[in-house]
Amino acid sequence: MLAFYQLLLSLYPAGYRDEYQQEMLSVLVQLNEESSQQGWPARFLLAARETAGLLRGALQEHFYAFTGFDPLVAFPNRRIPMRSEFRFPKTTVTLMALILVAIIVAIEKAKAISESIPPSSTPVGPIRPEYVGVVPAFLIALGSACVMGLIGWAILFALGRSGIHRLSSVQPDANQTKPSTLGLK
């Protein structure tokens, strides 16, 4: 079994192995000795737990070594999930989903158009600025700014409707805020 654990430990990144392999093997030896005195069910449970733990640990350490980002920090387990008071309202989520779908559709459409155009052997020449007038360019830029502004306003409007901004103006219950005079002279 120890040979199998050694094999699993070899799956860890090299830097991690240098640092912890001996210690981990020492712990596994002690756990193995302990379980061998408790019969085969204990040995089976230990093998299952350690195999799963070592495989998961190896994956996490590789992820950490590769990205520098700790997966356990991103996805903490065995803890009551604590959520902040901020919630995206459903309208905002819907709007953002619609925007995402529109972007994906636009990309697909562009791909279809580019594939429908027969390949040309003549290289595309440099874009000459005289073909693009100042006024159309200005109108395009203005139109884009208006569209982006509308999208931003819609998101802000949807956020405003969630009522988050009104929480600060909520007055606590008068009975709770009134200082108790019981026991005070």
Partner 1 sequence: MPSSLLTEPVLLILLSLADQPRHGYAILQDTHKISGGRVRLSTGTLYGALRRLLEERWIERFEARDTSRGKQAYRLTATGRRNLQAEVSRMRQLSRVASGRLAQTES
d(CA 49, CA 55): 10
16 binds partner 1 (CB under 8 A): yes
Segment interacting with partner 1 (CB under 8 A) among 26-34, 124-132, 141-149, 172-180: 26-34
Interface residue with partner 1 among 2, 6, 14, 30 (CB under 8 A) is: 30
Cα 14 to the center of its chain, rounded Å: 27
CB of 31 to partner 1, least distance (A): 7
14 binds partner 1 (CB under 8 A): no
CB of 33 to partner 1, least distance (A): 10
Judged by DSSP in three states, 150 sits in helix
73 binds partner 1 (CB under 8 A): yes
d(CA 185, CA 173): 24
54 binds partner 1 (CB under 8 A): yes
Integer angstrom CA distances of residue 88 from 47, 57, 85, 97, 100 = 44, 34, 10, 12, 16
Segment interacting with partner 1 (CB under 8 A) among 52-60, 100-108, 113-121, 172-180: 52-60
Footprint of partner 1 on 86-125 (CB under 8 A): none
24 binds partner 1 (CB under 8 A): yes
By CB under 8 A, the count of residues binding partner 1 is: 31
Q: Are 82 and 35 in contact (CB under 8 A)?
A: no
Integer angstrom CA distances of residue 177 from 103, 174, 180, 183 = 51, 5, 9, 17
CB of 83 to partner 1, least distance (A): 11
